[in-house]
Structure 1
Amino acid sequence: EFRGFERFILGRLYWEVPVIVQRLCGICPVSHHLAASKAMDSIVGVDRLTPTAEKMRRLMHYGQIMQSNVLHFFHLSSPDLLFGFESEVGKRNIFGIIEAYPDLAVKGIKLRKFGQEVIRATAGKKIHGTGAIPGGVNKNLSLAERDHLLENMEQMIEWAQEAVAIAAGYCVDHLALVQAFATFNSSHMSLVREDGALDLYHGVLRAIDASGNTIFDQVDYRDFNDYLMEEVRSWSYMKFPFIKRRGNLDGWYRVGPLSRMNTAGFIDTPLADNAHRAFRAFSNGRPNQMSLAYHWARMIEVLHCVEKIRELLHDPDLQGSDLVQRGERREEGIGVIEAPRGTLFHHYRVDQNDQVVFCNLIVSTTNNNEAMNRAVTQVAKAHLSNQTTITEGMLNQIEVAVRAYDPCLSCATHALGQMPLDVALYDAAGQLLQRKVKDGY
């Protein structure tokens, strides 16, 4: 069960689902809203939205990816990158950033605010909006809303480029650390456009192995059950997805910004595409396996989203009045989208009374479950081996490894150094040397 949602959604009317599932997350509710809406499009027999509806949803989604990635980078990760992993815990937080880098903090706040304003204009409100409905959307973008967003557009482009430069510069300037810290070979999976371009809203599934060889490609996401399985392990509340043909031991994979940069052949906006080329060159054209490179990839996505927002704001289709399509009713719907943290699957079945009778969710963090565990294992071996005591710096090394994946509980992973951790240090004989617990809230 994913926090009970797969059970208490049962019996609800299908058109309620896109609003209900947003309560899964206060950071990325739009992703669940749109994934569920795509599934419900199938339920009402719609395979292609009107141009206005699709572009409004895309605009909403770009605002979501932008604000979430900006929040993670500036609020949660920049203290690690700018102050160092071993820096004083009282300084290594957003308040330390505001004090030491006030201009950077303001830019981060305003970038996120812009993304939130895009969501408000398309979904009706910034959090838990109602813009997408089965078969389309319930509003277009007014000229006043468009003009308001265009006022700060060029500034957002400039600041997004600066954010990419900061993240890229960190990786280049700390090459040895980035190459060694929580770096391990894995497969990668994401949606891509049919021509191989990065596409965050819609596309086909592509998976590559650690060498960049194709595992599968051009897969209709509605057939994901033919390619992916989930394993339950007794020691974890989360499932462990894997690629069927590779088995549960070797079939695990990563998703999210790093994986999207690895699977995409190119990006269809010029500034982000140039940044993507530099990103790929950093790992000599091979799949980038460095967990810390997730931060760089996130900022490339922010730049891409800002470019796409600018492009869409000049599209007259957003002022169209043809908002909803209808088709022949179906009993099953699958919606897949690239959420900020990775590929997100929503699968539903609906009965003759319009009530949901089946729900399965594979959220982004679940897809990254094995990878996060391996990142923690690698960091623990590197920094806790041959030690007899656990220091604050060691704890933060583990936090940094988890934080790179921006898991769904990211709000708790850098709140004044209060990420909830329970770390036990044993010697080779299995004797407990020390246990250190850091409570969250």
Structure 2
Amino acid sequence: MAGPVIWDEKTKVTTKRVTVDPITRLEGHGKIEIFLDDKGDVQNAYWQVPELRGFERFCIGRRVTELNQITARLCGVCPGAHHLAATKAIDGCYNAKPTATAYLIRDAFYNAHFVHSHIAHFYALAAPDFVCGPAAPAAERNVLGVIGRVGLDLGGAVVKARRQAQSIQAILGGKPTHPLLGVPGGVSKAVSKEEQQTMIEYAENMLEFAKTSLQVFKDVVLSNEEYMKIVLNKDLYYHETYHMGLVNDKNQFEVHDGKVRVVDQKGNEKEKYDAYDYLDHIAEASEPWTYEKFPYLRNPGYKGLVDGADSGLYRASPLSRLNTCDSMPTPIAQEALEEYRGILKDNGVDGPCQFTLCTHWARIIEMVCCAEKCLEDVKNNDILNGDIKQHDLVPGGRGVGCVEAPRGTLTHDYTCDENGIVTACNMVVGTTNNNGPICMDVAKVAKGLIHNFDVSPGLLNMVEMAFRAYDPCNSCATHALPGQMPLTAVIRNSDGSVYDTISRN
């Protein structure tokens, strides 16, 4: 991270560029570039992703049945999301649907995955900003600082609940991090009665912990007047965008299966479609200063990094999922959603919530719902049925798998030939959906907080809080457009002056 903006006696100029590199508490790499004008106010700020992974290209030529293993390596935080989206796409390439038992096992696995991921983000990545405070010393803004303030008992409960969520994934998928769960039209292993009892015990504890986490958020954030002034400040963490999320046939919250629903700035349904048709509804733009693309709704289209009804930029996040659903499918989460919407309404929110930092609140409500869903699934004795896979499958064709990753709507799109070899691959991942809104949030917060060359570490952390609410995963969000990647090479003379600039966009 660049130091404070000061007068440089050697150059006789004031530093006008502040770089936060690396940015902290996220998966992957990124940086923030802030440019100041002559008055020391922010002229512009950029959320920049300087890394390239290129998974889409080297999936081509592999067996399609390998892709739920390969793409799970995109991310160490949400491999389960990529595994399941890939598995659903593989189903499509084989023109197969999972058996009822396989669907139930996948659902239990995935809801446990959501719980483990949300625990990791809320307590290790987001909570330091609220429990320790946005301006706390950097050495204290971490999970140890959080435990120091909330106590060892809660810290131990965090570790236990996350471990149990991962253990359910391991029971069902063979491994907790890079699962071996999915096969075309089914899953790889059946569930025993002993495994069911273990999972019930774990899921019951996960639900109790999720309820505790909701109370922690109420105690630490909702009851803190100063924090709520930050959370509900329209001049900082606020943008009026469209919102996207999966819903079931009752328009209830869903993470595993369903249709993609988009609502506008007033909460009206704008679009609702099957994931297979996603390319009819969204497209991706690129900018020369980042490797991460900018998805947008084809109608109204890409107008740059601006919000409003005329801009096709949308968000796909926990906040978005609560905006797009009419209700929750489980009772405790529904009660929490009603309380959430009631408090927001009392604070002047009429329609979808557009306050970015409320994403943390939405994430906890999702944790409650997914813990409830996981418990329902593992208690269902149909999970013991041995009919776990389809047989006599023939590859060939296109499959599109879509789930809600913890970070947003995740789509895997594969085409394979009659030998099961991948001929085309496209992925739109959760973080990529949010790239435009993240950029807008970072710029808006920087412009709202930094003035007169006053760039303190606390203020820079509040700029970072703009992206941290989205729980971005840059590891899986960076892909090149087919064929080549944007590149700018700057050649400098020995005195630092620019000799030549070569660009490929």
2:123 paired with 1:74: yes
Of 331, 336, 341 in structure 2, the residue corresponding to residue 270 of structure 1 is 331
Matched, 1:51 2:104: no
Aligned twin of 2:296: 242
| Secondary structure in structure 1 of the residue aligned to 2:442 | helix
The alignment yields a C-alpha RMSD, in angstroms, of 1.7
Query: 2:361: which partner in 1?
Result: 296
Deviation by residue 1:5-46 (Cα, 9 ceiling, x = unmatched) = 111111001111111110100110010000010001011111
Matched to 2:286, the amino acid is V
Residue 352 of structure 1 and its aligned partner are, at CA, apart by 2.6
Q: What is the CA–CA distance in structure 2 between the aligned matches of 1:184 and 1:4, rounded to whole Å?
A: 30
Q: Deviations over 1:210-266 (max 9, x none)?
A: 11122112x111101110111111111111000001110200100111100111111
Are 1:307 and 2:404 an aligned pair?
A: no
Match of 1:252 among 286, 307, 313: 313
Residue 69 of structure 1 contacts residue 340 of structure 1 at CA under 8 Å; is this kept in 2? yes
Partner in structure 2 of residue 175 of structure 1: 228
Alignment of 1:420-435 (within 5 A): none
8 Å Cα contact 2:101/2:382 also seen in 1: yes
Q: Note if 1:194 corresponds to 2:249.
A: yes
Are 1:282 and 2:343 matched, yes or no? Answer: yes
Q: Distance in 1 between matches of 2:459 and 2:412?
A: 37
Once the two structures are TM-superposed, the CA of residue 153 in structure 1 deviates from its matched residue by 3.8
Measure how far apart 1:152 and its partner are. Answer: 4.1
Residue 271 (structure 2) pairs with residue 216 (structure 1): yes
Bigger Rg, which one: 2
User: CA 1:80/1:139 → structure 2, altered by over 3 Å: closer, same or farther?
Assistant: same
Q: Matched residue of 2:399: which SS?
A: strand
Q: Which runs of 4+ in 1 moved over 6 A?
A: none
How far apart are the structure 2 equivalents of 1:300 and 1:103?
Answer: 22
> Quick one: distance in 2 between partners of 1:153 and 1:360?
34
**Aligned AA (1:183):** Y
What does the per-residue CA deviation read over 1:52-78, in whole Å, with 9 as the maximum and x for residues that have no partner? 100110111011110000000011111
Q: Which amino acid aligns with 1:298?
A: R
CA contact (8 A) 1:171 1:293 kept: no
1:15 matched to 2:69: no
Which residue number in structure 1 is paired with residue 163 of structure 2?
Answer: 113
One-letter amino acid of the structure 1 residue matched with residue 255 of structure 2 = L
3-state DSSP class of the match of 1:360? strand
- Any conservation in 2 of the 1:49–1:324 contact (CA below 8 Å)? yes
Aligned counterpart, 1:123: 173
Where does residue 201 of structure 2 map in the other structure? Answer: 151
Give runs of aligned pairs for residues 24-103 of structure 1, distance below 5 A: 24-46=74-96, 48-101=97-150, 102-103=152-153
Residue 79 (structure 1) shift: 1.1
- Shift, 1:2, TM fit: 6.5
Q: Distance in 2 between matches of 1:40 and 1:301?
A: 27
Deviation at 1:146, TM superposition (A): 1.5
TM-score computed with the length of structure 1 as normaliser: 0.89
Preserved CA contact (<8 Å) 2:74 2:475:
no
Matching residue of 2:419? 353
- Conserved? CA contact 2:231–2:358, under 8 Å: yes
Matching residue's letter, 1:224? Y
The one-letter amino acid paired with 2:334 is: D
**Do the aligned partners of 1:2 and 1:361 also contact (CA within 8 Å) in 2?**
no
Of 227, 230, 244, which aligns to 2:284?
Answer: 230
Per-residue CA deviations over 1:392-424 (Å, capped at 9, x if unaligned) read 11211111111110001499xxxxxxxxxxxxx
Contact 1:262 1:280 in 2 (8 A): no
CA positional deviation for 1:156: 2.6
CA contact (8 A) 2:247 2:254 kept: yes
Deviations 1:112-160 (A, max 9, x none): 1111011101110111111111111011221111112223443332221
| Aligned with 2:445 (options 359, 379, 382) | 379
Contact 2:89 2:400 (8 Å CA) reproduced: yes
Query: In 2, Cα distance between the equivalents of 1:141 and 1:305?
Result: 20
2:188 match? 138
Cα distance in 2 for residues equivalent to 1:154 and 1:388? 52
Which stretches in structure 2 are left out of the alignment for 5+ residues?
A: 1-50, 304-310, 477-505
Instruction: Report the equivalent of 2:239.
Output: 184
Number of residues paired by the alignment? 408
Contact 2:118 2:363 in 1 (8 A): yes
- What CA distance in whole angstroms lies between the structure 1 residues aligned with 2:119 and 2:202? 16
| Structure 1 position 339 matched with structure 2 position 405 | yes
Deviations 1:237-296 (A, max 9, x none): 111000001110200100111100111111111000111111222332511111111111
Contact 1:333 / 1:347 at 8 angstroms: preserved in 2?
yes
**Aligned CA distance change for structure 1 residues 155 and 323 (closer, same or farther; 3 Å):** closer
Q: Tell me how far apart the structure 2 counterparts of residues 197 and 216 of structure 1 sit (CA, whole Å).
A: 16
CA contact (8 A) 1:42 1:330 kept: no
Q: Partner amino acid for 2:248?
A: R
Partners of 1:199 and 1:119 in 2: how far apart?
19
Structure with the bigger percentage of helix: 1
| Structure 2 counterpart of 1:145, one-letter code | E
1:224 and 1:409 map into 2 onto residues whose CA distance is: 22
* Contact 2:395 2:420 (8 Å CA) reproduced: no
Residues 1:364 and 1:2: Cα distance change in structure 2 (over 3 Å): farther
The one of 182, 199, 204 equivalent to 2:259 is 204
Deviation, 1:168, is: 3.9
1:434 aligned residue: none
Distance 1:8 1:387 in 2: 48
Q: What is the alpha-carbon distance in structure 2 between the residues aligned to residue 140 and residue 199 of structure 1?
A: 24
Whole-angstrom CA distance in 1 between matches of 2:260 and 2:52:
23
User: How far is 1:345 from its partner?
Assistant: 0.7
Letter in structure 1 aligned against 2:312 = G
> For the residues of structure 2 that align with 1:72 and 1:247, how far apart are their CA atoms?
32
